Amino acid sequence: MGKSVRYGLTVLFCILLFFGAGNIVIHAQNVLPEASYCNTDPSTVFFISNPGDKTWTCSVPGAIVNLDNGSGRFYPTSVAGPYPRVITILYQNPNYTGEPADPYDPAKAFFTFNVTISDPPVVTFAAIADVCQTDAAFNLAPRGNPVGGVYTGPGVDAAGWFFPSVAGPGAHSISYTYPTTGCSSTAFQFVTVNAIPVVTLPPFADVCIDSSPITLTTGAPAGGTYTVDGVPSATFDPGAAGVGSHTIIYTYTSGLCTNSATQTIDVNPLPVVAIGGLLVQQCNTQPAYPITGFPTDANGAFTGSGITDNMNGTALFNPGAAGLGLHNIEYTYTDINGCTNSVTQFTRVGTKIFIIGLASSYCSEDPVQNFTYSPFSADPLKDQVSGPGVIDLEGGNATFNPAAAGIGSKTISYSFTDEIGCINLITQNVVVYETPVANFSGLNPSLKYCFGAADVNLTGTYSGGTFTGPPGSIVDNSNGTAIFKPS
């Protein structure tokens, strides 16, 4: 196992007492024996500069070989067991002048170093599971055994914690060395730090509170999940979310690593819309008058019966053009956010009145026709039906006599005075046609024919008439003519 060396001058406390601190000159280049070595460690060179050029010896013959200028090479593998074994290394008189070197002699020592030679410890390092670069730091202990060693490697701090974000993506070699001084062994493990996936979520356009739900699909890569204000959801419903800013998070997992992207979406309220100036009720004789929508500008528009929109948030309402009855007047406005709202206001123009059961045409010989009108009043002065051939029976009932009305187009009128003082009038045109007199020519004066006689052409007085007769004897030409077949 790898062995570190110690630079500087280290002297046992007893040596300091023996020689006195003043007898030692410390130089940075001095290389002294460690307190312990493994029997598998490579050779190492020792050096002392003052006093210089002395001789290195060892209680184990052959374990140290002198070099020049006060240096010597120590071979831990030359020290036989049993282990652990304590040996003594001396830096002694006389000066080294070559081989054979002076023998080991503690009496001649300038410095004495007691060194323990041991079998290297058995060190194990349990596997480290793959992690994501965003994972929290974790303690590598107790993966190393025996406990008490030191962990080193990319992303490893002095306390043995591994920081994936510091190490970064990739495979990293982590070592565990035990013990921290002396004869030690090191075990290694790889830890793979996976990079987080790149996740994107494009910005969302603002929406209105009444917008349709949005299916969330724009996160990339595909296959992740969405949350809306912290609640898992595949859709965003503006109406359910409410007015304001909402947070949408898209989360995607690739292998061990998860990443997310966040966007906000703003839900705008609908504009508050109102109509001003529209009367609740009026007569159809009321002149056209202006009404105003709020907010008032070119983004507003009026619709409805009797409305002339000015395209600036105002309009004219014409009760006469609107007609009798109830009318829905609507004002629609779109604000700067593109949100649209509308308001509907009812207005009454007089009272809607009806003539019921009166056909559009009759023949002059048709019988008297019953019809009704509504609404009607118990006060006969407040409702009146009139016209050629009409008799008002009161109480909402009347008759029409085609013969009395005469041939031609006739106007039937009904007026009703309602509770707000409006005189409401409707008319209906009825055409009375003269009853046609049907006849035809072509038969002989006797009106008698022999069986097998020739066919006879018949002509009606009206081209739109139809001929009929015994089955097989009449062929109608559908133009007011026919053929009579005596045979």
Q: Which pLDDT band, with edges at 50, 70 and 90, does 461 fall under?
A: confident
Q: Would you state the pLDDT for residue 26? A: 39
Average pLDDT score over residue span 281-302: 98
Residue 23 has pLDDT above 60, yes or no: no
Going by pLDDT thresholds of 50, 70 and 90, the confidence category of residue 24 is very low
Residue 147 to residue 126: CA distance in whole angstroms: 12
Q: Where residue 3 falls among pLDDT bands split at 50, 70, 90? A: very low
Q: How far is CA 463 from CA 81, 249, 435, 438, 441, in A?
A: 144, 83, 15, 11, 13
- Say whether pLDDT at 320 is over 80: yes
Average pLDDT over residues 113-137: 97
Arithmetic mean of pLDDT, 124-136:
97
3-state helix/strand/coil string of the chain: CCCCCCECCCCCHHHHHHHCHHHCCCCCCCECCCCEEECCCCCEEEECCCCCCCEEEECCCCCEEECCCCEEEECHHHCCCCCCEEEEEEEECCCCCCCCCCCCCHHHEEEEEEEEEECCCCCEECCCCCEECCCCCEECCCCEECCCCEEECCCECCCCEECHHHHCCEEEEEEEEECCCCCCEEEEEEEEEECCCCCECCCCCCEECCCCCEECCCCECCCCEEEECCEECCEECHHHHCCEEEEEEEEEEECCEEEEEEEEEEEECCCCCEEECCCCEECCCCCCEEEEEECCCCCEEEECCCEEECCCCEEEECHHHHCCEEEEEEEEEECCCCCEEEEEEEEEECCCCEEECCCCEEECCCCCEEEEEECCCCCCCCEEEECCCEEEEECCEEEECHHHHCCEEEEEEEEEECCCCCEEEEEEEEEEECCCCCCEECCCCCCCCCCCCCCEEEEECCCCCCCCCCCCCEEECCCCEEEECCC
Residue 17 has pLDDT above 50, yes or no: no
pLDDT value of residue 139: 98
Cβ atoms of 225 and 251 within 8 Å: the answer is yes
Between residues 19 and 39, the one the model is more confident about: 39
Q: Is the dihedral angle over the CA atoms 17, 21, 23, 29 positive or is it negative?
A: positive
The residue behind tokens 């009367």 is 279
| Stretch 86-101: mean pLDDT | 94
**Comparing 21 with 209, which gets the higher pLDDT?**
209
pLDDT, tens digit, 9 for 90 and up, residues 417-449: 999 999 999 999 999 999 888 888 888 877 788
Higher pLDDT, 450 or 313: 313
Q: What is the pLDDT of residues 26-39, one digit of tens each?
A: 334 799 999 999 99
> 164: exposed, middle or buried (C-beta count within 10 Å: 0-12, 13-18, 19+)?
buried
pLDDT digits (tens, 9 = 90+) for 140-170: 999 999 999 999 999 999 999 999 999 999 9
Identify the pLDDT of residue 330. Answer: 98
Distance in angstroms (rounded) separating the CA atoms of residues 179 and 144: 11
User: Whole-number mean pLDDT of the chain?
Assistant: 92
Confidence bin at 232 (pLDDT 50/70/90): very high
Provide the pairing of β-strand 109-118 with 36-38.
parallel
Least reliable range by pLDDT among 19-23, 264-268, 381-385, 442-446: 19-23
Q: Per mean pLDDT, which range of 101-105, 162-166, 377-381 is the poorest? A: 377-381
Given a contact cutoff of 8 angstroms between Cβ atoms, the answer to whether 54 and 48 are in contact is: yes
User: What is the reported pLDDT for 11?
Assistant: 32
What is the band of 463 on the pLDDT scale with cuts at 50, 70, 90?
Answer: confident
Cα separation of 268 and 130, whole Å? 46
Q: What is the pLDDT of residue 382?
A: 92
Q: What integer is the mean pLDDT of 125-136?
A: 97
Report residue 486's pLDDT band, with 50, 70 and 90 as the boundaries.
Answer: confident
pLDDT band at 378, cuts 50/70/90?
confident
Residue 9 confidence (pLDDT): 30
